[in-house]
Amino acid sequence: MSDKRAQHKSKYTLDRGIPGAFEGETITRRRLMTGTANAAGAVAVAAFALPALGFALGPIFETQPHSWQDIGPVDAFNPNNYVPVVVTITPGVSEIGKTTAYVRQKNPAIDTDRPDRDTPYIAISTRCAHVGCPVRWVDAAERFVCPCHGGVYDLLGRRVSGPPVRPLDRFPTRVRAGRVQLYTARFSVNSQLRRFSPRDPGEPLDGIGQYLYPSRPSARKP
């Protein structure tokens, strides 16, 4: 009994008593053919599936081109109220690539956050940080109000009430030759107004949030 099992376990086909076995052969012809057929099938499927998948997934790894855009003279903006400006953030798709930003001059009394000290102008994106509806600056209440699910933000773009998970995104600004310029790539901020690479709406940046919603190759910090 034990003798038979030892024979069966041998790696040589000859020992296993398979008809037509060769001396020193360890794999049957049938097993070789089965393996070859499976491998050939896998190669054939991969040959069309992988390029197609790469083609579809390509945009995830491509960084969008961005540029500085002129948004008006330095005296068009004041430190206490927002002025809407329209900028093109995605070139080549006419109207669809545009968005609105609310811009005001930096107010040293309220913009005390360290990164903001180097920014001459504060440019707030109108994309709600909940799921991306277009927010509106309501002057009388000094609030950004979202029309969809009840998001409300204060003068600095920080959440006042409703479901938004972080403050409104911002655009970098600079002054060149008496003109204000805006960089077309957003950056996101957490509740302490610390800067992060741009995230999609609905992705919190406080605590564990920045690791659960990682930065993407397609949108790096400007």
Nearer to other proteins, 13 or 129 (CB): 129
Nearer to other proteins, 124 or 180 (CB): 124
Answer yes or no whether residue 219 interacts with other proteins by CB under 8 A: yes
Answer yes or no whether residue 132 interacts with other proteins by CB under 8 A: yes
Please select the residue that binds other proteins; options are 162, 194, 195, 222, rule is CB under 8 A.
162
Q: Are 79 and 105 in contact (CB under 8 A)?
A: yes
The amino acid at 109: A
Answer yes or no whether residue 157 interacts with other proteins by CB under 8 A: no
In the sheet with 173-176, reading across from the earlier edge strand, the strands are 68-73, 179-183, 173-176
Q: Where are the alpha helices (DSSP H) in the chain?
A: 2-9, 29-57, 209-212
Nearer to other proteins, 106 or 220 (CB): 220
CA distance linking residue 109 with residue 184, whole number of Å: 27
Pairing of β 170-171 and β 121-125: antiparallel
Nearer to other proteins, 28 or 215 (CB): 215
Please select the residue that binds other proteins; options are 26, 36, 64, 112, rule is CB under 8 A.
64
Please select the residue that binds other proteins; options are 72, 120, 163, 222, rule is CB under 8 A.
163
# of chain residues touching other proteins (CB under 8 A): 60
Answer yes or no whether residue 100 interacts with other proteins by CB under 8 A: yes
Contacts made by residues 56-64, CB under 8 angstroms, sequence distance 24+: 59/218, 60/216, 60/217, 60/218, 61/217, 61/218, 62/217, 62/218, 63/217, 63/218, 63/219, 63/220, 64/90, 64/185, 64/218, 64/219
Answer yes or no whether residue 190 interacts with other proteins by CB under 8 A: no
Residues near other proteins (CB under 8 A) are 56-57, 59-60, 62, 64, 84, 86, 89-90, 92-100, 126, 130-138, 140-143, 145-150, 152, 159-165, 198-204, 212-214, 216, 218-219
